[in-house]
């Protein structure tokens, strides 16, 4: 543009002689205006160049930030993808665990219900067993009371009755039953055994064990019937009592058992006369039949 103005001025100078002063002034004014416009445009160009440099730097900064954001975005996408994979795995695991837990809980509930049912059934059997034991204990106590009344006339004559350990023990010293060295029951002893038999006849569910006991005095020589020691004598005496009880037709003979204990279950010391007297005795041990209770115990 400046070149154009210069050419214009040159043309003006060549033609100055041909144009008017007014035209010259107009062209000169245009020239000055053009110079000013050029200066202004140069300043704007310089300003724009600075702005462009600033914008370039800002662009480079923004591009760097964009690159960093893209990297962070890619990293986040990778983390999200991994998290989604983990979530999917956990969801599957939870579903599997939930299914397994439900099955396990169902199985455990069924097992507990079965145990509860078995426990209730066993508790019922225990209660029934306790009831039978209590009934037997009450029955044995009643039996002891009946025997005490039936044998009341013989108490104080070497006869005692005791209820312990679920059994009734009738102890009769030999002075009530036998003469020394004999196994034949004397008349008063027969009366005591008959009274005992009447009570036993009314209780067919009772097992009767008759034990013969002696002191530790040795048998010298040979007694009638070939008795040579205390084993033989204690057994003979127990058998004599069994035979007397067996005379009562109401007593079931299967309930009777005779046993000789000789001198080996003493009640007192054999070092005194009184002790020897206590040890020479017949023990009648009355026991309830425990077959049903034993079966119930085995079934528990």
Q: How many domains does the chain have?
A: 2
* Residues 161 and 33 occupy one common structural domain: no
**Which of 15, 43, 67 is the last residue in one of the domains?**
67
Q: Is 105 within the bounds of a domain?
A: no
* Residues 294 and 168 occupy one common structural domain: yes
Q: Is 273 within the bounds of a domain?
A: yes
* Residues 155 and 52 occupy one common structural domain: no
* Residues 59 and 156 occupy one common structural domain: no
Asked if pLDDT for residue 94 goes beyond 80, the answer is no
**Which of 33, 48, 67 is the last residue in one of the domains?**
67
The order of strands in the sheet holding 159-164 is: 159-164, 167-173, 281-288, 206-213, 256-262
| Domain that includes residue 293, residue range | 151-299
Q: Is 22 within the bounds of a domain?
A: yes
Burial 281-298 (b: 16+ CB within 10 A, else e): bbbbbbbbeeeeeeebee
Q: What is the pLDDT of residues 181-223, one digit of tens each?
A: 889 999 999 999 999 999 999 999 999 999 999 999 988 766 6
pTM of this structure: 0.61
Q: Are 173 and 274 in contact (CB under 8 A)?
A: no
* Residues 167 and 276 occupy one common structural domain: yes
Q: Is 82 within the bounds of a domain?
A: no
* Residues 167 and 38 occupy one common structural domain: no
Q: What is the pLDDT of residues 249-289, one digit of tens each?
A: 999 999 999 999 999 999 999 999 999 999 999 999 999 98
> How many C-beta atoms surround the C-beta of residue 13 within 10 A?
10
What's the CATH code of the domain at 227? 3.30.1330.60
């Amino acid at each position: 543009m400046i070149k154009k103005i210069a050419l214009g001025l040159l043309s003006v100078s060549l033609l100055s002689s041909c144009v008017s002063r007014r035209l010259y002034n107009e062209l000169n004014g245009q020239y000055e205006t053009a110079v000013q416009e050029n200066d202004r445009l140069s300043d704007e160009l310089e300003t724009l160049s600075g702005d462009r440099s600033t914008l370039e730097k800002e662009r480079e900064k923004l591009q760097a930030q964009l690159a960093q954001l893209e990297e962070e975005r890619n990293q986040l996408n990778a983390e999200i993808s991994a998290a989604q994979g983990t979530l999917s795995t956990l969801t599957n695991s939870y579903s599997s665990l939930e299914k397994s837990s439900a099955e396990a809980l169902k199985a455990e509930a069924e097992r507990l219900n079965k145990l509860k049912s078995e426990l209730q059934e066993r508790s019922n059997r225990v209660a029934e067993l306790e009831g039978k034991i209590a009934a037997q204990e009450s029955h044995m106590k009643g039996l002891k009371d009946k025997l005490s009344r039936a044998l009341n006339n013989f108490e104080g004559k070497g006869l005692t009755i005791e209820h312990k350990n679920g059994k009734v023990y009738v102890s009769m010293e030999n002075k009530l039953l036998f003469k020394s060295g004999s196994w034949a029951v004397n008349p008063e002893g027969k009366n005591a055994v008959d009274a005992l038999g009447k009570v036993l006849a009314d209780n067919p569910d009772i097992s009767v064990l008759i034990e013969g006991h002696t002191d530790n005095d040795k048998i010298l020589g040979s007694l009638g019937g070939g008795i040579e020691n205390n084993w033989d004598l204690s057994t003979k005496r127990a058998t004599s009592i069994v035979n007397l009880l067996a005379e009562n037709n109401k007593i079931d003979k299967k309930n009777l058992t005779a046993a000789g204990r000789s001198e080996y279950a003493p009640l007192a010391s054999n070092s005194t006369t009184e002790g020897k007297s206590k040890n020479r005795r017949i023990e009648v041990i009355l026991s309830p039949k425990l077959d049903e209770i034993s079966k119930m115990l085995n079934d528990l």
